[in-house]
């Protein structure tokens, strides 16, 4: 099985980096033999904030992350969460608090690493 790791840094809204990363990650989850992992750090931890309300017709990264969570794994930088006053209870179900050490392990284990 091939493993692709996505590392996101930017906020969910304001530019389209998180949007494009999650589009690609979601598309890869439908490919046979592909394991998808997403690590959210810096402002991108807000992508996993539960209860997002966006204008009608605008993309919702919470929903996009849900597609990845159905078949892949999502981890959040705990230090970055703390800096933004976010707890695991604030986040979507399935997205888990993590560490830089786990990101290092995922990086070593991955066949491809994409940074957005």
Separation CA 16–CA 13 (nearest Å): 7
pTM: 0.95
Question: By CB neighbour count within 10 A (0-12 exposed, 13-18 middle, 19+ buried), where does 7 fall?
Answer: buried
> How much is the average pLDDT of 21-27?
97
Domains and CATH numbers, the chain: 2-115 (3.40.1260.10)
Q: Which pLDDT does position 57 carry in this prediction?
A: 85
Separation CA 24–CA 15 (nearest Å): 16
- What pLDDT, in 10s, does the model give residues 101-116? 999 999 999 999 999 9
């Amino acid at each position: 099985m091939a493993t692709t790791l996505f590392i996101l840094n930017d906020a969910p809204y304001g530019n389209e980096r998180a949007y494009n990363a999650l589009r690609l990650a979601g598309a890869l989850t439908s490919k046979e033999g592909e394991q998808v992992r997403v690590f959210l750090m810096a402002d991108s931890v807000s992508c996993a904030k539960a209860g997002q309300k966006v204008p009608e017709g605008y993309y919702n990264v919470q929903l996009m992350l849900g597609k990845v969570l159905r078949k892949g794994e999502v981890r959040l930088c705990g230090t970055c969460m703390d800096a933004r006053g976010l707890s695991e209870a604030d986040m979507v179900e399935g997205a888990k608090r993590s560490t830089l050490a786990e990101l290092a392990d995922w990086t070593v284990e991955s066949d491809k690493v994409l940074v957005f």
